[in-house]
Amino acid sequence: MSGEARCIIITGLSGAGKSTALRILEDIGFYVVDNLPPVMLPSLMEVVSTNGAAQSSGVGAVVDACGKSASCDLDSAVTTLEDNGIMTRRVFLDATDEALVRRYETTRRRHPLGEGTTIMDGIARERGELTTVMEKSDVVIDTSIMNNTEFRETFLAKLGLDEYPFTVIVSSFGFKNGIPRDCDYLFDMRFLPNPNYVPDLKKLSGRDIEVQNYLDRIPEKQVFMKHLVSFMEFILKHYENTGKKQLHVAIGCTGGRHRSVAIAEQLSKIISDTGLRTATNHRDIDLEDN
């Protein structure tokens, strides 16, 4: 396989939509395989290395991750794939017990782990066996209340495979409220003086010109922005070639109201001015304890 090869690994609870996810990937050109043991993933990628769909789009595989050794086997397989230059994404499909029971009752199927017992017992056993697999997944999607259209849109968007143009998401946040788990790059603005301790600026935010002017007068901020812009120019020049449709850059400060917001606003405008599609999000700007 070439260095641009891609493998999307689908795991999750039975009845949560794994087969549907595989059909979605097949619809957009992926080479797909269902119910594959984890240890077979490296061999699969080697076997399909000359397949047109696998080369142009990638490989999608639903993997059976239940069992005592399955989680370790999956970790080992992913390590082997990535060591061979293959980009991997682990997707875990989840749903509430109530939603899963309703689906099994509608289709009149028995749970694959529920032989001789109830559907709820089968779900509980499977959920327990897949806890570690879910925790190590790159993307977790709860399909409980999604219809097919919503699931397709969410699934593709989470993987950066939606039909929208490449988008750079620039978000601000406060470290005291937790780090965004889905960001690709994170930058810490806590080295800059905090406008929160300037009486005239405390009630303002990084969107206000007064806060922006205050930060612009700090030499370290100017140096940082020069290096940040240079770094982003380098990254963005190559990032679309990875097959992803979005890049999430998170900018953090203590509370997520002043420094991170101002830097995020400035970076988003700079990127937008190059012609790329951008989206700006200030997660913590309106929290009362900022």
Which pLDDT does position 258 carry in this prediction?
Answer: 97
Helix orientation angle between 119-129 and 97-107, rounded to the nearest 10 degrees: 130
Q: How far apart are CA 10 and CA 178, in angstroms?
A: 28
Q: Is residue 1 part of a domain?
A: no
Neighbours of 193 (CB within 10 A): 15
As a dihedral over the C-alpha atoms of residue 271, residue 274, residue 278, residue 282, rounded to 10 degrees, the angle is 30
Same domain, 99 and 231: no
Same domain, 199 and 100: no
Same domain, 64 and 18: yes
Q: 140: helix, coil or strand?
A: strand
Q: How many helices (H) and strands (E) does the chain have?
A: 11, 9
Q: Is residue 253 part of a domain?
A: yes
Q: Is residue 287 part of a domain?
A: no
Residue 41: domain span: 6-158
Q: How far apart are CA 142 and CA 201, in angstroms?
A: 41
**Within the chain, where are the H helices?**
18-27, 41-47, 52-56, 70-83, 97-107, 119-129, 131-135, 148-158, 209-216, 219-239, 259-272
Q: How far apart are CA 144 and CA 59, in angstroms?
A: 26
Q: How far apart are CA 181 and CA 50, in angstroms?
A: 35
Q: Which residues pair with 135 in a beta bridge?
A: none
Q: Number of structural domains, the chain?
A: 2
Per-residue pLDDT of the chain (290 residues; tens, 9 = 90+): 344 688 999 999 988 999 999 999 988 889 999 989 999 999 999 888 878 777 778 899 999 877 667 778 899 999 999 999 999 999 999 999 998 988 887 766 767 666 667 888 888 988 998 999 999 999 999 999 888 888 988 898 888 886 556 789 999 999 999 999 889 999 999 999 999 999 999 999 999 999 999 999 999 999 999 999 999 999 998 886 665 668 999 999 999 999 999 999 999 999 999 988 898 999 999 886 66
Per this entry, what is the length of the chain? 290
Amino acid letter, 113: L
Same domain, 143 and 180: no
Which pLDDT does position 288 carry in this prediction?
Answer: 65
Q: Is residue 126 part of a domain?
A: yes
- Kindly report the CATH number assigned to the domain that includes residue 40: 3.40.50.300
Same domain, 118 and 179: no
* Residue 56 token pair: 């142009």
Which pLDDT does position 194 carry in this prediction?
Answer: 97
Same domain, 206 and 137: no
Which pLDDT does position 118 carry in this prediction?
Answer: 81
Q: Produce one character per residue of 28-63: b if its CB has 16 or more CB atoms within 10 Å, e if not.
A: eebbbbeebebebbbebbeebeeeebbbebbbbbbb
Q: Is residue 290 part of a domain?
A: no
Strand pairing report for 87-94 and 139-142? parallel
Q: Is residue 288 part of a domain?
A: no
Same domain, 123 and 10: yes
Residues 6+ apart with CB under 8 A from 286: none
Q: Is residue 129 part of a domain?
A: yes
Verdict on whether the full-model pTM lies above 0.85:
no
